[in-house]
Amino acid sequence: MFEITLPDGKHIDSNLNESWLDFIKREIGAGLAKSAVAVSINDRLVDVSEPVQSGEMKVVTLKSPEGLNIVRHSAAHIMADAVTQIFPDTKVTIGPSIETGFYYDFDSPHRFSESDFETIEKKMAEIIKANIPFKRKVVSKEEAIELFSKMGETYKIELIEEINEPTVSLYFHGDFVDLCRGPHLPDTGFVKTFKLLSVAGAYWRGDEKNKMLQRLYATAFNSKNDLEQYLKMVEEAKERDHRKLGKELDLFEFSEDIGQGLVLWTPNGGIVRTVIENFWKKEHYRNGYELIYTPHIGRSKLWETSGHLDFYKEGMYSPMDIDGEDYYAKPMNCPFHIVLYKRKKWSYREFPFRWAELGTVYRYEKSGTLNGLKRVRGFTQDDAHLFCTMEQLEQEITRVLNFSIYMLKSFDFSSYKLYLSTRPESDFVGEVSVWDKAEEALEATLKKSGLEWELNKGDGAFYGPKIDILVTDSIGREWQLSTIQVDFNLPERFDLSYIGEDGQEHRPIMIHRALLGSIERFFGVLIEHFKGAFPVWLAPVQVALLTVADRHVETAQKLEKKFLKKGIRVKIDDRNEKIGYKIREWSMEKVPYILVLGDAEASLDKIPVRERGGKQISFEVDEFIEKINNENSGGVYF
């Protein structure tokens, strides 16, 4: 007898030996059965062809996020089938669905390129049109290894050998078979629209010591309109790529002479960074923080105490021998801030402490994962650590959250999604009662904020719960920037204490906090958000002065001097070039204001201002200066 509970709470008893698809047709309706692509039973997704079992069930359709994920996972199998039919010497490895679509990694003597996409897509369309059923089969590991051995699929054998179960599941459609947990669509015809996007290199299992494979990226959607909208966004993202714009606008550079993942900030990029950091410092002082500075390296004993050498050594660079001792480049600032805390015994009356640092850290990232400014090996963290009592925790979390939102809004990010990650089921440090109090403080703050938030139950780090803030950029992409993390681990490891109201020693609560993340990654996101057209207060050059002829250089120099005295960033272009050519060049530089100076402007009574976008307005000089200072968000940060 099976006891099945529907989403509306209705209970159905059945003793029929039937599939979920038959159950849905009989008990719920033929219409829903037609659109069902899977079933969630006790929060586990299974194929609609699987036999009925007891539990809480929900029908998964194409319209749900789970359904789209299954479409993409099935499309990955279809792509692998198409590729191996066209290029028979190709070996398949893994092909998961991802947030934006799916990919499959191949070991093939054929060098894939975009010129192959049309051929592969045509073969995929044939497979989809044939409505071939996906069939699941559970076999012993030995049987699976024998099957893939005959096929020469050595990568599949390696994966099977590492599975700690006596059986594995295989999925067939037509002559194609793959090792997979599933679930999958009822048949290939459920894939509505798809598109191959790009090809890239990827090491087998992400290890640089392994063979380089070829990764085909693709996407699938449930409607043509959704696909078209996504492809438009992809094209727009290419135009906004910070690596492309960084080169065009001369904002930053990487050099093989220095090393991968190490950023060189050009004068243009350096100005923007300075503006960001000066704004950051000013706002931190206003919000009750004290700024500190710490070294770039530390003795091995520090990293042993913090646990980094036990848990994070692969992300750290090899030690330097200094006076017979090992020193490591710091991957994090936290231990240094803790050492500053330990310099004396504190009283509860002195709490809370809010210590902030723009601290540069160094972490080893595999070369294949490096991605412009968004994934580097040396970066500056927008870092801070707060020390407070448990009674002060909710108040401090509220202050940090409000400060985070203020900072993000200042950079034109106005859409947020927040996530609360709570205690893992096992392998955590600290008392459960302390976790509960911390989680209650974080949740209370989120509820009072009025912002949209979700609970990620059990997804917290082993050392404490946290709040993550995701922002949406100007083309709808989400970026995780701010994090507010409670830490029960480091105060214990470093034996931190303070004297409480009762005269006894107590353990302080430590909060890690980043508002912008890292300056490098934040700058990369900012470039793409604004498409390189920074608002006036962030623009490396705010005003370009273009001379028509040599006799107008003196006028430009007078204006330059006046602007510089008022803190306005200005450049003179007195090259012997046609004025139309100069205007085009500075427009490509995305400068907010261009001033063309000829005979009529020599008196400086009125100056013609060409705004970014082409609109032209005349201003008196002082009026124009006031306009720019107003656009500098109420203050000059450079």
For the chain, the first-to-last Cα distance in angstroms comes to: 75
Looking only at the bridges linking them, the beta strands covering 167-173 and 55-61 are unpaired
CATH fit for domain 330-520, picks 3.40.190.10, 3.30.930.10, 2.120.10.30, 3.90.70.10: 3.30.930.10
Task: Say whether domain 543-631 belongs to CATH 3.40.50.800.
Answer: yes
66-236 architecture in CATH?
Answer: 2-Layer Sandwich (3.30)
Q: What is the pTM of this model?
A: 0.87
| pLDDT at residue 634 greater than cutoff 80 | no
Do 543-631 and 330-520 have the same topology in CATH? no
User: Which residue type sits at 43?
Assistant: D
563-586 burial string, b = 16+ CB within 10 Å, else e?
beeeebbbbbbbeeeeeeebbebb
Look at residue 633 in the predicted model and tell me its pLDDT: 61
State what percent of residues in the chain have pLDDT above 70. Answer: 99
Write out the catalytic residue numbers: 334, 363, 381, 383, 385, 466, 512
Mean pLDDT in residue range 83-101: 95
Look at residue 196 in the predicted model and tell me its pLDDT: 97
Local confidence band at 635 (pLDDT 50, 70, 90 cut-offs): very low
User: How far, in Å, CA of 630 to CA of 567, rounded?
Assistant: 12
**Is the Cβ–Cβ distance between 374 and 216 less than 8 Å?**
no
Residue position matching structure tokens 């034996």: 495
Mean pLDDT in residue range 125-148: 96
Per-residue 3-state assignment (H helix, E strand, C coil) for 456-503: ECCCCECCECEEEEEEECCCCCEEEEEEEEEECHHHHHCCCCEECCCC
Three-class secondary structure of residue 211 per DSSP: coil
Which pair of tokens denotes residue 604? 């400086």
Local confidence band at 636 (pLDDT 50, 70, 90 cut-offs): very low
| pLDDT at residue 178 greater than cutoff 50 | yes
| pLDDT at residue 540 greater than cutoff 90 | yes
Three-class secondary structure of residue 62 per DSSP: coil
DSSP 348-387: GGGPPEEEEEEEEEE----GGG-BTTTB-SEEEEEEEEEE
Average pLDDT, the chain: 93
- Residue 9, Cβ neighbours under 10 Å: how many? 7
Domain boundaries, the chain: 2-61, 66-236, 295-329, 330-520, 543-631
Which pair of tokens denotes residue 36? 């069902």
Three-class secondary structure of residue 305 per DSSP: helix
CATH fit for domain 2-61, picks 3.30.720.110, 3.40.50.300, 3.30.2010.10, 3.10.20.30: 3.10.20.30
User: How far, in Å, CA of 102 to CA of 79, rounded?
Assistant: 10
